[in-house]
Chain A
């Protein structure tokens, strides 16, 4: 056992977890950590605001399915990461945030830059630790990563008082840890799966609803096999967008408030749903009582607390959804069950899809949402990673950007955090430097974390910001137009800033486009660029996101373009 400082032990423990980079910003209470970071092989990626460090770690975690790590100092540094923790936790993204804290003997004395971050963060983390002795650090880090990455992943906070970082102690690094109150996995119940298969086979209008859990567990192949074997159409939640190739004949697209018209239509017609890794959020299913009416629900989830939380289920299978789906496929292969592709339901689904493809009215402008996002899809290589911000552009991305390679689309869907997409894209680029990364952004959201341009440029993490610019807080404006009789307040961004100049001032490139051809060229330029590229795409500020299911109503009640 070697005797080293807590800070040194922290770096060793992170290295043992395979951490290659951390996103962070130093301050008084985490200086000992930074001094050891200086001596370690771990790369530090400097942010301009701690919230962005947390979002970068989140983006890194979603793409790599390994916990992303962020560092912040005590007090305001720590409180600045709260939105990042809450965002990651709401979307079950693995993250380990490590904050400095005032020395143990100063805790509770309202010391300079002291905040009770354990208390503040409690409702928005999966778990938190505050080691009081340096010797605890190796075990705490091991447990932290174990909790963040297993079961339903989430955000873990490790708050380390400054003296605990400085003190030396004999350190023991455990190879594995057991936590007696933590049971991340349950073996799926095979009998329940057998019953579920019977129910699916006896239903005349079955649908698969794929949620974010499919992406988190990487169950793409299993989902596709199951859908193809049974010829069941697949809708997704917005979080589950891209769990299933969206150009596949069985794909109907995301349901929900701004779901695809055909997906909402098919979902409301279905008599049985196999819901995989979803929590039935209000944004996905609309009014809870309406959704479950006349619908038999089979629910697969790793988190037993999600069963029956928002919807009444007929059959529940608790366990990792990938493991559950494998059992489904195995049992179906044994039964040699395969539905013919000439079933009435599938034909109907195909007709409904075709109808909406022909009949959904789109904005006529040259740079309409549908046209620019389809252009992006046309130009981007299939494996490219896309993140989004939050607002109209996000919902247009859901409607008009088809995910072809599963698991390449990421968005802040649960908390709905404006400003998430750009730093998350940078984190994604750190995880997969070999792939193009695009943040589909709106001007309002991009404003919130645009100073991450510095990180992107200086730390050599080039991404494309596809800025759908209506100079407006567009989604709020749409609600004001729809529900508040056009009393527009607090939504006009007044063409400020100039995004081309803004990008250039950070050493990034800014390109303003005026038509689709220029847009295509700008994307190609961005794909080849060594620095971040902000593509400013001016659109009609009055363009609405449609269809639209108003809050508190049923998926049946879609507002359509007039």
Chain B
């Protein structure tokens, strides 16, 4: 099971370390993580996606909640949540027709092209992790030279 956790924490040094350390020491998985400041300079927000069975995820939420530096821990319902990740791919261009094909794939996903060169193209996509996986699968045909992902950012629709 895949779960999105939204964790409001004190905006202080060392908190990211403590949160990730908790995952390691309790034998939980981090699938992706993103951290940023919020509208309130005293808080930061971490969005962690994780994989585990129902019982494990319940434990993760409880253990995170128990941490003194966490203000609020929410498990977001993915059906009621907008969640997006940004990814950058650098894809190898071996022959002239590749450029056209990669452009077509990019268009079909709404991905943007950056830094198009003779031997490689960079693509940018903001989408759900599933859509990103699909794009990656299609691009793998052309040899992916490099990937960078931001981790998921998520907000529940209509506030709480």
Which residues of chain A have a CB within 8 Å of any CB of chain B?
Answer: 118-119, 122-123, 126-127, 147, 179-182, 303-305, 307-309
Contact = CB atoms under 8 A, between A and B. Distances in A.
A230 to B, nearest CB: 30
A180 B69 CA distance: 8
Nearest to A179: B68
Interface string B58-86: 11001101111111000000000000000
Contacts of A307: 62
A305 B68 contact: no
Contacts of B63: 305
Contacts of B69: 181
B55 interface: yes
Interface stretch (B17-25, B90-98, B103-111, B135-143): B17-25
Contacts of A181: 9-10, 67-71
Contacts of A126: 68
Nearest to B67: A181
Contact of A123 (B10, B21, B66): B21
A122 B17 contact: yes
Contact of A304 (B55, B65, B67, B71): B65
B14 interface: yes
A305 B21 contact: no
B68 to A, nearest CB: 5
B28 to A, nearest CB: 13
Most buried by A among B17, B21, B66, B71: B66
Given A118-B14, A181-B9, 11 more contacts: A122-B17, A126-B68, A179-B68, A180-B71, A181-B10, A181-B69, A181-B70, A181-B71, A305-B65, A308-B55, A308-B58
Nearest to A151: B66
Contacts of B67: 181
Nearest to A127: B68
B115 to A, nearest CB: 36
B25 A147 contact: no
A6 B19 CA distance: 30
Q: Which 3 A-B pairs have the closest CB atoms?
A: A305-B62, A182-B68, A305-B66
A180 B70 CA distance: 9
Contacts of B65: 304-305
Interface in B1-28: 9-10, 14, 17-18, 21, 25
Most buried by B among A179, A304, A305: A305
A157 to B, nearest CB: 13
Most buried by B among A122, A126, A303: A122
Contacts of A308: 55, 58-59
A122 B67 CA distance: 12
B62 A304 contact: yes
A122 B9 CA distance: 17
A180 B67 CA distance: 11
B64 to A, nearest CB: 9
A339 to B, nearest CB: 35
Nearest to A304: B62
A155 B69 CA distance: 16
A158 to B, nearest CB: 14
A307 B69 CA distance: 21
Contacts of A182: 68
A126 to B, nearest CB: 8
Given A181-B10, A309-B59, A119 B71 contact: no
Contacts of B10: 181
Contacts of A118: 14
A122 B21 contact: yes
A24 to B, nearest CB: 25
Given A119-B17, A122-B17, A123-B25, A304 B59 contact: no
Contacts of B18: 122
Contacts of A304: 62, 65-66
A311 to B, nearest CB: 11
Contacts of B62: 304-305, 307, 309
A305 B67 CA distance: 10
5 contacts: A122-B18, A147-B68, A181-B71, A305-B63, A308-B55
A122 B58 CA distance: 22
Contacts of A122: 17-18, 21
Nearest to A118: B14
A119 B20 CA distance: 12
A414 to B, nearest CB: 15
Contacts of A147: 68
Nearest to B60: A305
A127 B12 CA distance: 14
A303 B67 CA distance: 12
Contacts of B55: 308
B66 to A, nearest CB: 5
A116 to B, nearest CB: 11
Nearest to A182: B68
Most buried by A among B58, B65, B68, B71: B68
Contacts of B9: 181
A127 B15 CA distance: 12
Contacts of B25: 123
